[in-house]
Amino acid sequence: MRRDIFQAIADPTRRAIIALIALQAMTPNAIAENFNTTRQAVSKHLRILTECELVKQEFQGREILYTLEIEKMKEIDKWLDQYRKIWETRFNQLDDILLTIKKEKK
């Protein structure tokens, strides 16, 4: 079953994993060292992130490195952008109201 990228980022551990590998490619063991959980639990999170194509595996000899899949992250950003625009408009409207109130008090 293919998972949705938003299901993947809904979990705080998976978001933390994304934050870690956004900085550099990491092995599963290096990722697991950052969490107070089992290596198997981290592997499950990595599998879900891989299925959603948010991370990809790169093989270097006998090691697997996980790297961030930037294009999928752009998909998330594109979806969030519609809400970002709504909130920016609302904040601008609030600024206008506050300026009006401030002028009326003078």
The dihedrals phi and psi of 68, each to the nearest 5 degrees, come to -80, 140
Residue-level pLDDT, tens digit, the chain, 106 residues: 567 889 899 999 999 999 999 999 999 999 999 999 999 999 999 999 999 999 999 999 999 999 999 988 888 889 889 898 899 888 888 988 999 888 888 7
| Geometric angle at alpha carbon 97, from 91 and 101, rounded to 5° | 145
- What token pair was written down for 80? 């969030």
What is the SS3 assignment for 66?
A: strand
For residue 49, give its domain range: 5-105
Q: Are 18 and 49 within 8 A, CB to CB? A: yes
What integer pLDDT is reported at residue 103 of this predicted model?
86
Instruction: Report how many domains make up the chain.
Output: 1
Write the CATH number for 94.
1.10.10.10
Give pLDDT tens digits for 62-87.
999 999 999 888 888 898 898 988 99
Cα–Cα nearest to 57, from 48, 49, 66, 44: 66
